Structure 1
Amino acid sequence: MGINHASLAKYFYKEKGDDISFTNFPYFGVCTTTSKNSVITDSGAAGSAIACGEKANFGSISYYPWFSKDSLPLSFAKIAHENGKKVGIITTVSLNHATPAAFYAQSTSRNLYYEIGSQLPESGFEFFGGGGLKHVKGSDNNQPDLYEKAKSNNYIVSSNIKDFEKLDKKNTKYMFVNPKLGLESDVPYKIDRKSDDGYNLAQFVKTGIKVLENPNGFFMMVEGGKIDWAAHSNDGATIVKEIYDMDLAIREAYKFYEKYPEETLIFVTADHETGGLSLGNAQMAYESNFMLLDNQKISITNFSEKIKDYKENNTKYSVDDIWKLADEYFFTETPIYTASDSTRVLEAFNYYFYEKSPATSLEPIIIYGAENPVASIFGNIMCTKAGVGFTTWAHTAAAVPVFAVGVGADRFGGAIDNTEIKKILLELVEW
């Protein structure tokens, strides 16, 4: 989440009579995100720098082979736990994904999901919530179940929020996994979420606070992890709604801050910027209509699946059918399309259904990214007309925002590096 992602969400929800509350926190700063061996970081290296206070190599998880065993950097979460604080880790992606993993695991590669997930119950952290565990039985599905390992380490594993209404005082460790998970063990996007899809990030945070609250205090790391995924898809509508979903979670944390303002710090930041998002583009010049994003009903990822289903269930394909699919699933109100827009949709249609390359020297992956080409183009046209632009399907080296309120929040005002976050926290708690 870059500053432009947060600003876009704020402009969007202001028009709806709401707001992104964390953007109003009294202290604001910016944070640089480079990894040890690359200017543009990945989540593994960036999460490691935030958690452990030291730069890590691209793709690794809190892995520092250049340190001696006696001086290996520990995550702030582990140090907090060693000092008697309860710890919670919450995310909308899988619990063994790069950013949450950096707080409890060490690995040479973020892609070693089973190895990382095996370290989760060994951490002893009192609460894990949100997504599930990716590769829960290993990449070949032939390893011992990680949920069973958690249970054998005295974790109560549940997908029902009612199980947390009355906590068993004999048990102090919980995993609260959303009842419906995506292919990556992730929580459904807010824009796609249905009433039977489980819980939002705010409910996980509220439950986590209930589990963790105690006289000695706690540390909680909460990640709106699919903001990044939506930005990888260049999906403006999904981005703003994921940020709002995260803001609702932060509002739950803020309620706790209001009860204990002299004991609580909340800070909001990101491990990196994704998408090179701009508020303005060449086609719209000085015009913007961010509320046009509200005409999008589902994520580009979800619409990709609709188009895939259409292809698999038919033998003859028509671009007119694609427009009908868009009207049925993607739009609440169809925007006004130009001849150029229609040409781009037709090119994407011909590429996906008939493998005819677009009339450009650019590689298709540059034009469409990793999503379905047709869905990607519809999303791109929507964003362009709204006045939103993107420069990449990947991360950028742009500094990310920091918003803070509470005890020591002033330490996050100004310019910092992500390795300074742990140092600031340690100084505030005087460890």
Structure 2
Amino acid sequence: MKRLFNFLILLFFAGLIIAQEVRPTKNLIVMIPDGTSLSVLSASRWLKVYRNEGTRLHIDPYLSGTVTTFSSNAPIGDSAPTTSTYMTGVALQAGNVAIYPVADSENDLVKLNSDSAYQPLVTILEAMQMEQNKAAGLVITCEFPHATPADCAAHSFNRGDYKAIAPQMAFNNLSVVFGGGNEFVSDDMKEHFKNTETTYIQNDRDAMLNFNGEKIWALFGDRAMSYDLDRNPVEEPSIAEMTEKALEILNKNPNGFFLMVEGSKVDWAAHANDPAGIISEYLAFDDAVGKAIEFAEKDRNTTIVILPDHGNSGFSIGRNGMKKGYTKMTLADLFGAVSKYKRTAVGLEKILLNTKPDEIKNVFKQYTELDITEAEKEKLLTSKNYKLASNTKAPDAKNMAHNIAEIYNERTGFGYTTTGHTGEEVFLAVYHPKGDILKGNVRNTELHDYLYKVSGLKTSMKEHTANIYAKHTDVFAGMKYEVVAKNDVVKLVVKQKRKTLEVPAFSSVALLNGKPMDLGSVAVFVNKNNTFYLPRNLKDRAFGKK
């Protein structure tokens, strides 16, 4: 009897070990609907029900838990530190992009090493490229150097420093980048695309969809792409189309790939408290989830992890001041109006700003099926940025998009607590071909641990960081070097006998005696400590071993 009991105990613990096993897959897809609170999923489902489009979202069968996401020193994070933590395993401060935070001893929620401040941290994307020779791609609807995509392939203490972030993303030699941001592609980046046989396509949906090569950047618009509800489908691809095309291209790499897909502008619409934008952007993202799941189910060697980076706006179905009690609000009361909105608040604003005052009510109805009141019309005419009327504007007048969103919300039962981010845990969904999914509530650092395990990486992230991003003072200790800044260009110059090495900031190509030299990773310069972070073996590669 005792032997049987011991045997059953052994089986039980063996079962736990098996249940906790994470078997690596060839490909890894991380999908982030930025700033999407759980209630957005509920609203998106109900809108589909109202439109007779079914009762389920593509994500639904794979929901498995929640993630507690935060900054290193604050429970409510912004996109830069939150996705950076998913990518690096280290909690960061607001504004940090894959770089070790400065210690804030009075407020830190995690233990930090003050000596590591400003140290670039290798990301999952970079590690998979370098260790496994896998392809890497980004699909976004914002401009490509924005926080979430930058978190995967760049390093900076300031998420707004696009001049430092954009070139890093180009020189990180990604196989696919689809999104917005043509304005941020420099001549040096274009030249690098040519040198690496990377096709750069601007504002050409058909060219993107018909591309048959292996390396491509296809960008639409100067900055962010249009909201899906406002998008011209002939000119701009949907996020689902971009995801499907990215998978087709990345899958050509026999070693596998990493792909991050961001529904960037759910967050932007939530900041604006725009229900039309919030729900339509999430549904567009969910269509991309469907494309990814379809690929993974056929491939049987792909893991998909879907989760937001943080909540936003306190979006709710139900609020104070509804026209009926909450139990009396019908499906039509809650979702009838929003189902008819043909433009986001920003999209309708672009139209109304060029509409004469006496046509405002008719044009508003054309795109929303709403009959606005005279008071609402007056509110639009006195918008801060409306120039076609002489109506007196109040000192605190808001832009028209803000006023449109207020009218949208007045006709629904949606509520908001803020126009900023919120600190609740976010939903988690996972597809794994062998069922090794992450469950329950986990912290953002634990989410990273799962990504690391399922990626099949062998070298630790800490070791990768030490090898790829060593301080130039350590790499070239005992040698003659100088950090030179001229005309907004910063470079490290190292000399030994007849050899001169010049390393431009934010590039992966140096010059050794005037000839190009591939560094193998991007040289990150941090002006806070006037330090370049470089491959540890660069001295030996450039000047030989002694």
TM-score (norm 1): 0.83
Does residue 42 (structure 1) correspond to residue 78 (structure 2)? The answer is yes
Alignment of 1:365-380 (within 5 A): 372=399, 374-380=400-406
1:68 deviates by 4.3
Query: What is the match of residue 112 of structure 1?
Result: 161
Query: What is the match of residue 47 of structure 2?
Result: 12
Identity of aligned residues (%): 25
RMSD of aligned Cα (Å) = 2.6
Match among 128, 138, 142 for residue 89 of structure 1: 138
Alignment of 1:174-323 (within 5 A): 174-178=216-220, 181=221, 185-213=223-251, 214-261=253-300, 263-284=301-322, 285-286=325-326, 287=329, 288-310=333-355, 321-323=359-361
1:134 deviates by 4.4
Query: What is the match of residue 140 of structure 1?
Result: none
Cα distance 1:67–1:192, how it changes in 2: closer, same or farther (>3 A)? farther
Does residue 356 (structure 1) correspond to residue 405 (structure 2)? The answer is no
Match among 66, 69, 75 for residue 33 of structure 1: 69
Contact 1:93 1:187 (8 Å CA) reproduced = yes
Query: What is the match of residue 73 of structure 1?
Result: 121
Query: What is the match of residue 467 of structure 2?
Result: none
Deviates further, 70-79 or 230-239: 70-79
CA distance in 2, matches of 1:283, 1:241: 24
1:382 deviates by 2.2
Query: What is the match of residue 177 of structure 2?
Result: 128
CA distance in 2, matches of 1:23, 1:255: 12
Greater share of strand: 2
CA distance in 1, matches of 2:211, 2:228: 28
Query: What is the match of residue 141 of structure 1?
Result: none
Structure 2 SS opposite 1:392: coil
Residues 249-302 of structure 1: per-residue CA shift (max 9 Å, x gap): 1111111112123x2211211111121101111122412521320221211112
Contact 1:233 1:301 (8 Å CA) reproduced = no
Alignment of 1:392-407 (within 5 A): 392-407=418-433
Query: What is the match of residue 52 of structure 1?
Result: 88
Match among 49, 58, 61 for residue 97 of structure 2: 61
1:95 deviates by 1.0
Between the two structures, name the one with larger relative contact order (CA 8 Å, sep ≥ 6).
1
Structure 1: which 5+ residue stretches go unaligned? 138-143, 358-362
Cα distance 1:5–1:207, how it changes in 2: closer, same or farther (>3 A)? same
Query: What is the match of residue 24 of structure 1?
Result: 60
Give the counterpart letter for 1:13 in structure 2. K
Alignment of 1:135-174 (within 5 A): 135-137=184-186, 144=187, 146-158=189-201, 159-162=204-207, 165=210, 167-168=212-213, 172-174=214-216
Cα distance 1:409–1:45, how it changes in 2: closer, same or farther (>3 A)? farther
Cα distance 1:81–1:384, how it changes in 2: closer, same or farther (>3 A)? same
Structure 1 SS opposite 2:282: helix
Contact 1:231 1:239 (8 Å CA) reproduced = yes
Moved over 6 A (4+): none
Structure 2: which 5+ residue stretches go unaligned? 1-35, 102-113, 385-390, 458-546
Structure 2 SS opposite 1:419: helix
Query: What is the match of residue 389 of structure 1?
Result: 415
CA distance in 2, matches of 1:393, 1:39: 17
CA distance in 1, matches of 2:432, 2:71: 29
Contact 1:265 1:408 (8 Å CA) reproduced = no
CA distance in 2, matches of 1:203, 1:51: 25
Cα distance 1:70–1:380, how it changes in 2: closer, same or farther (>3 A)? closer
Cα distance 1:166–1:324, how it changes in 2: closer, same or farther (>3 A)? closer
Structure 2 SS opposite 1:14: helix
CA distance in 2, matches of 1:64, 1:409: 33
CA distance in 2, matches of 1:211, 1:23: 23
CA distance in 1, matches of 2:293, 2:250: 15
Cα distance 1:69–1:86, how it changes in 2: closer, same or farther (>3 A)? farther
Query: What is the match of residue 360 of structure 1?
Result: none
Cα distance 1:429–1:60, how it changes in 2: closer, same or farther (>3 A)? closer
Match among 356, 364, 379 for residue 326 of structure 1: 364
Structure 2 SS opposite 1:93: strand
Cα distance 1:409–1:383, how it changes in 2: closer, same or farther (>3 A)? farther
Cα distance 1:430–1:269, how it changes in 2: closer, same or farther (>3 A)? same
Query: What is the match of residue 415 of structure 1?
Result: 441
Structure 2 SS opposite 1:22: coil
Greater C-alpha radius of gyration: 2
Q: Tell me the matched-pair count.
A: 392
1:145 deviates by 5.5
Contact 1:63 1:107 (8 Å CA) reproduced = yes
Residues 181-203 of structure 1: per-residue CA shift (max 9 Å, x gap): 2x5x2221111112332211111
Give the counterpart letter for 1:403 in structure 2. A
Cα distance 1:190–1:351, how it changes in 2: closer, same or farther (>3 A)? closer
Contact 1:25 1:404 (8 Å CA) reproduced = no
Contact 1:25 1:405 (8 Å CA) reproduced = no
Give the counterpart letter for 1:155 in structure 2. T
Give the counterpart letter for 2:244 in structure 1. K
CA distance in 1, matches of 2:315, 2:121: 33
TM-score (norm 2): 0.66
Structure 2 SS opposite 1:157: strand
Contact 2:79 2:310 (8 Å CA) reproduced = yes
CA distance in 1, matches of 2:211, 2:267: 34
